[in-house]
């Protein structure tokens, strides 16, 4: 029963991420010309760029290969979730990663590229989906490397 609640939590987070990602990209496409930069605050700027590769423009021009890789990553995440520990942080992280992956996949299928718009100095442009994937991956690594180890030690001692 608890895993069903965690699955629901992951699904809710994923839906929120997809909505936030797609709505922010709609606003950027409607209000910022491709290549234009808009100062936001301090070093933060918004821009409008198209990324037809994967993270940070790698594998640019990959087309259908990038879409297939994205679908493969979603299948791998699903397989992981089937055997995921009952840790709330793993399920939250999974929801963030799933939502981010779906958000960018929607762009790739509909447009052939991903809209990126957040720009920081010395860093490639990114979007809400990329941020969710990054935060989710960090949470997952922390859980698997540190928290899961503590749980195993507690179970061995008990």
What tokens appear for 47 in the block?
């821009």
User: Catalytic residue at 130?
Assistant: yes
What tokens appear for 27 in the block?
């606003």
Catalytic entry in 116, 143, 148, 151: 116
What is the rounded CA–CA span in Å between residue 127 and residue 24? Answer: 8
Contact criterion met (CB below 8 Å) for 77 and 127: no
**CA 122: distance to chain centroid?**
21
If you ran DSSP here, which 8-state letter would residue 32 be given? S
Burial level of 152, CB count in 10 A (0-12/13-18/19+)? exposed
Catalytic entry in 21, 52, 107, 130: 130
User: Catalytic residue at 148?
Assistant: no
What is the rounded CA–CA span in Å between residue 74 and residue 80? Answer: 10
- Residues carrying an active site annotation: 116, 130
């Amino acid at each position: 029963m608890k895993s069903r609640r965690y699955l629901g939590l992951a699904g809710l987070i994923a839906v929120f991420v997809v909505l936030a990602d797609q709505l922010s990209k709609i606003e950027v496409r409607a209000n910022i010309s491709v290549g234009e930069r808009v100062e936001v605050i301090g070093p933060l700027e918004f821009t409008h760029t198209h990324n037809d590769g994967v993270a940070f423009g790698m594998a640019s021009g990959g087309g259908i290969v990038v879409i297939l890789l994205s679908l493969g990553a979603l299948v791998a995440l699903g397989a992981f979730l089937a055997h995921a520990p009952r840790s709330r942080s793993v399920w939250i992280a999974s929801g963030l990663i799933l939502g981010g992956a779906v958000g960018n996949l929607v762009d790739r299928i509909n447009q052939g590229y991903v809209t990126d718009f957040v720009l920081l100095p010395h860093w490639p442009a990114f979007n809400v989906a990329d941020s969710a994937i990054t935060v989710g991956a960090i949470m997952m690594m922390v859980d698997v490397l540190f928290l899961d180890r503590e749980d195993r030690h507690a179970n061995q001692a008990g």
